[in-house]
Amino acid sequence: MSATPLKGLRVVELARILAGPWAGQTLADLGAEVIKVEAPEGDDTRRWGPPFIDRDGTPVAAYFHSANRGKRSVTADFRTPEGQAKVRALLADADILIENFKVGGLKKYGLDYQTLKDVFPRLIYCSITGFGQDGPYAHRAGYDYIIQGMSGLMSITGPAEGEPHRVGVAVTDLFTGVYSTTAILAAVIERGRTGKGAHVDMALLDCAVSVMANQGMNYLSSGHAPGRTGNWHPNLVPYQVFEVADGHIIIATGNDAQYHRLCTLLGLEDLITHPDYRDNAGRVANRAPLCEAISARTRGWTKAALLAGCEAQGIPAGPINTMDEVFADPQVRARGMELDLGAHRGIRSPFVFDGEPAVSARPVPTLGEADDGQGGCLPPSSLRSSPPEDI
């Protein structure tokens, strides 16, 4: 299988910040040609620094680099007839449009789905918003931080005491970008059967609620809203951060056999047969005394020694790495997660097909690099491998 399975698809991205650009970058890494249409001043995140990466004398924020690899950039002012015509010209042979304007935001420019669907009946039009195309909040702008709070994610994140915590990266934006890519490709397959495009309606809040997964089901099945659990798991014990002599590690036992091996390693064999801890339900009910007994032993081990002991005994455990430790990790290095993009480094997408990673060789575009100077767009860097009707 080719590491560029989407070669032949053309994407026009009218998206800014993170969720929409993340979907566009994912499609680019999988081989699609992605044309990023930016306002004359560029995507806001070009200026979201420091840190900045200098390309050809122009500093561009690392934030922008994280989500825009593999694209071509053109500029268009949607407020002008010329800008609107430029976008329509790009759509003439495009398969997919990605936009993340507020609901109705593109209608006044004639670039909304209802206006375009009859002109471009095969176009897959993906709208990414905070709250979706309908409902009482549809008119609101969506921000990852606010969605983390509204979705319940922050209600279960952080220590039990004190204020709720957000996740340290914009996960609702990123999940929405990934889910959008999945939905877009499903629409591509459906178009192959029907010949018709579709309007894909993606909302940050929908995606964030969806990924509440077992925590959401814990509530729906019990009627009790789960709270913040800090670093321990609500359904498994022992499955949390433990203190060691020189820091902390994660131990994550998922079944009785792993728990037994942990007790043996720590010299706590009496806890294997203790009536309070014989099964996971008992361990969950008696979490505090059990984990304190385990912690009393782990504090006598160094991080390296306990991790090695767990590895030898088949006990799931791992370190809590800083970013420098992440990119120095031998597994991360072996998998080639750090990219050499010439003037700077990057992070590859996680796709590998038949042993070959799927990642665009193109760095992030300079602003308007594909403008032809006459109000149009330079021709693509490569021809389609197949006409869009064959996809």
The per-residue pLDDT for range 2-31, each reduced to its tens digit, is 789 999 999 999 999 999 999 999 999 999
92 vs 56: which has the higher pLDDT: 92
Q: Which two tokens stand for residue 118?
A: 């009859």
What distance, in Å, lies between the first and last C-alpha atoms of the chain?
Answer: 16
Q: What was the pLDDT predicted at 375?
A: 58
Give the confidence band of 344 by pLDDT, cuts at 50, 70, 90. confident
d(CA 335, CA 257): 30
The answer on pLDDT for 160 being more than 60 is yes
Give the position of tokens 């455990």.
Answer: 317
**DSSP secondary-structure letter at 231?**
T
Q: Are 32 and 388 in contact (CB under 8 A)?
A: no
Mean pLDDT of 241-260: 97
d(CA 297, CA 238): 14
Q: What was the pLDDT predicted at 383?
A: 37
Mean pLDDT of 43-57: 91
d(CA 27, CA 34): 8
- Tally helices (H) and strands (E) across the chain: 15, 15
Return mean pLDDT, the chain.
93
Sheet strands (E) in the chain: 10-14, 33-38, 52-55, 58-61, 71-75, 96-99, 124-129, 198-203, 239-244, 247-252, 317-319, 338-340, 345-347, 352-353, 356-357
DSSP alpha helices (H): ranges in 195-329?
204-210, 213-222, 256-265, 270-273, 280-285, 287-298, 303-313, 323-328
For the CA atoms of 176, 181, 368, 357, what is the dihedral angle to 10 degrees?
110
Bond before 50 cis per omega within 30 degrees: yes
d(CA 98, CA 100): 7
Fold of 10-212+333-357: Rossmann fold (3.40.50)
Q: Are 188 and 177 in contact (CB under 8 A)?
A: no
Q: What was the pLDDT predicted at 229?
A: 86
Give the confidence band of 361 by pLDDT, cuts at 50, 70, 90. confident
The answer on pLDDT for 228 being more than 60 is yes
Element (H, E) at 69: none
The answer on pLDDT for 381 being more than 60 is no
Partners of 99 in the β-ladder: 14, 127
Beta strands across the sheet bearing 124-129: 71-75, 33-38, 10-14, 96-99, 124-129, 198-203
Q: Is 138 exposed, middle or buried (0-12, 13-18, 19+ CB in 10 A)?
A: middle
Q: What was the pLDDT predicted at 370?
A: 92
Q: What was the pLDDT predicted at 390?
A: 46
The answer on pLDDT for 237 being more than 80 is yes
The answer on pLDDT for 298 being more than 50 is yes
Could you tell me the residue ranges of all domains in the chain?
10-212+333-357, 239-322
Give the confidence band of 376 by pLDDT, cuts at 50, 70, 90. low
Mean pLDDT of 309-315: 98
The answer on pLDDT for 261 being more than 80 is yes
Q: What was the pLDDT predicted at 343?
A: 76
Give the confidence band of 373 by pLDDT, cuts at 50, 70, 90. low
Q: What was the pLDDT predicted at 377?
A: 66
The answer on pLDDT for 152 being more than 50 is yes
Going by C-beta distance under 8 Å and a sequence separation of 6 or more, which residues neighbour residue 347?
66, 337, 338, 339
The answer on pLDDT for 65 being more than 60 is yes
Mean pLDDT of 55-64: 89
Mean pLDDT of 223-230: 93
Instruction: Give the global pTM.
Output: 0.91
Q: What was the pLDDT predicted at 111?
A: 97
Set 29, 112, 144, 173: catalytic member: 173
Domain 239-322 has CATH 3.40.50.10490: no
Lowest mean pLDDT among 98-112, 271-285, 340-354: 340-354
Going by C-beta distance under 8 Å and a sequence separation of 6 or more, which residues neighbour residue 38?
16, 73, 74, 75, 76, 367, 368
Based on the residue annotation, tell me whether 173 is a catalytic residue of this protein. Answer: yes
